[in-house]
Amino acid sequence: MKPIDAAKMCTCRDRDCPNHPANHDQGCTPCILKNLTQREIPSCFFNLAGGTAGLDSFYFEDFARRVLGENTK
């Protein structure tokens, strides 16, 4: 199986983030580690579930609301 280029696959628009795969050679691992330690979901999941517009945070609960189609907190 051919290795995946995480920098090309990543849908995160924050390319200045030190955890973005374009900024190192560790793939998605630093981003996932950062998000899990803060009880957050990576923005790529939000992008798949309708985007990040209108969000102030990326917590598990925010993701659940986004997936369920609830736009209010």
Q: What is the pLDDT of residue 4?
A: 81
Q: Give the separation between CA 55 and CA 73, rounded to whole angstroms.
A: 10
Q: Which long-range contacts (CB under 8 A, 24 or more apart) does 41-49 make?
A: 42/12, 43/11, 43/12, 43/13, 43/14, 44/10, 44/11, 44/12, 47/11, 47/12, 48/11
Q: List, for residues 13-50, the tens digit of each pLDDT value.
A: 999 999 999 999 999 999 999 999 999 999 999 999 99
pTM of the model: 0.80
Give me the mean pLDDT over the 44-60 stretch: 92
